Chain A
């Protein structure tokens, strides 16, 4: 009896430490980013950071084209991944027969394991020429090509997480709705989706997170030209994302140089971006949860 209490104490402590260490690591990483990136704010005047040109070997550190590139590619990819991913999840969880579900789910999850370099290679060899010919563009290496690839990469994440959430909705909800005479579509739209809302939003968040942070495939297919996006047409022009910039240039810089600090500053901007996405989504999730609890109680 006493022994068990002791072992339980140890296990509880261990789990607690592991849990806190995750927070600690994020904090340490952020601290490191701040320490390495903050000097750039001192070394580079603010108006230079808001310059329209990124050309670090000549001391041009305008971040706007890079932020614009990331926003452009991310929005494009989200517009592809979210509708497709969510409808696939709804189909698998709500519409497809059980046997088909057993096949579809694992196949989609295998897709999630594809290395991004491989997708990038496919993008260069197959997708980029196809897009150039189909849309009659000067070059297929464009933000749009990147958005399609990233969308494809985010879809499995979105499907997998959203499907789990939909599947976790108790079947009594559906049965009750059906007893009230609701159609399939009404059940999906009015009952299951709202009930699984927090899980579905997590899926959205993870999908967008994957898109913002993806590097390799983007670097291979977007052309990496640091142009400030200017309307919808820019989606079909080359763009340079923040991640690709860090990946392409980090190897070149000498430790402690202005360029090195500028790359870490980009890292901070990137970190802030995904933090904003996460916070805004989890804000919605938590608000919903408390309201649902109130109704249930």
Chain B
């Protein structure tokens, strides 16, 4: 399915590039919006692209995957960044609005589970994480830690990271499972909000994209199941699929891209741009 998608995308790219007049490729503005996870990467790309095509301006803003996709549906952006796949509902809304979203995998990301440095917990399983975030476990002592309440931190619901975490961790990938975040989960509007709370609150447990995690917090090793072995997130463990909470990052265009947008996306999947991906702590999509 994935290869089929890739082949159709490539075909689309080729077809579209044949029909593009060259002047259109080199001037103008590309409006790029969406996932906060991708925003630093997109900014770095936009900056580097200035050296490749000085005539093309790329305006990058964050706001969350849902925000980006909503903007694509409403026709206000050229490229939407998303840290999750577009939902069927969103695709329907887009089509109803006359927009056909086209998907590109532009990098991979791992979600790191982070705690305060003083927290003795080193490893957690997906089952334990699910029980914590759904409210079944509320004290660190139940996991072998200190007798402290667990303060659960999450991104806001418009974050692709939130949706991914809900589906892959809370519901363990089971589509029938209707587990929700416990209502006392703190929903913070930014990755930075999560980092700063985990940095100075010994009770806190958070998750964030690997690219955002600094040495100020402690990263916990995660196992897919209780019997399995615990893995820390890194470029190697994401690429060899050992780390259980990793995902693809996407860019969506309104219809098959043409002109400068096509040129930009081609450049992004090229080796030069993918080096920037690893520099920022993400994992390249095209090794």
* A interface with B by C-beta (< 8 Å): 52-53, 55-58, 60, 65, 124-125, 128-129, 132, 138-141, 219-220, 223-227, 237-238, 240, 248-249, 251-255, 257
Contact = CB atoms under 8 A, between A and B. Distances in A.
A118 to B, nearest CB: 15
7 contacts: A53-B183, A223-B187, A224-B189, A238-B186, A249-B157, A249-B158, A253-B66
B151 A138 contact: yes
Interface string B60-73: 00011011001001
A139 B151 contact: yes
A128 B153 CA distance: 15
Contacts of B73: 254
B70 A254 contact: yes
Contact of B157 (A55, A223, A227): A55
Given A57-B163, A58-B180, A251-B64, 14 more contacts: A53-B183, A65-B183, A124-B197, A138-B151, A139-B151, A139-B203, A220-B189, A223-B188, A227-B184, A240-B187, A249-B157, A253-B66, A254-B90, A254-B93
Given A57-B157, A139-B204, A254-B70, A220 B193 contact: yes
List of 6 A-B pairs having minimum Cβ-Cβ separation, nearest first: A252-B158, A252-B66, A223-B186, A138-B149, A224-B187, A251-B67
B201 A129 contact: yes
Contacts of B188: 141, 223-224
Nearest to A251: B67
A44 to B, nearest CB: 16
Interface residues of B, number: 33
A56 B196 CA distance: 26
* Most chain B CB atoms below 10 A, which of A52, A57, A251: A251
Nearest to A53: B183
**Highest count of chain A CB atoms <10 Å: which of B183, B196, B203:** B183
A58 B186 CA distance: 17
Contacts of A220: 189, 193
A138 B204 CA distance: 8
B57 interface: no
B164 interface: no
B248 interface: no
A65 B185 CA distance: 13
Interface of B: 63-64, 66-67, 70, 73-74, 90, 93, 148-149, 151, 156-158, 163, 178, 180-181, 183-189, 193, 196-197, 200-201, 203-204
A248 B156 contact: yes
A251 B183 contact: no
A7 B168 CA distance: 72
Contacts of B183: 52-53, 65, 225-227
Given A53-B180, A251-B70, A252-B70, A129 B156 contact: no
Contacts of B90: 254
Given A138-B151, A249-B156, A129 B200 contact: yes
Contacts of A125: 196
A226 B180 CA distance: 13
Contacts of A219: 189
B208 to A, nearest CB: 16
Contacts of B151: 138-139
A252 B197 CA distance: 24
A224 B156 contact: yes
- Choose among A129, A139, A237 the residue with the greatest number of B CB atoms under 10 Å from its CB: A139
Most buried by B among A56, A57, A220, A257: A57
Contact of B203 (A65, A138, A240, A249): A138
A226 B185 CA distance: 8
A141 B190 CA distance: 14
Contact of A124 (B66, B93, B158, B193): B193
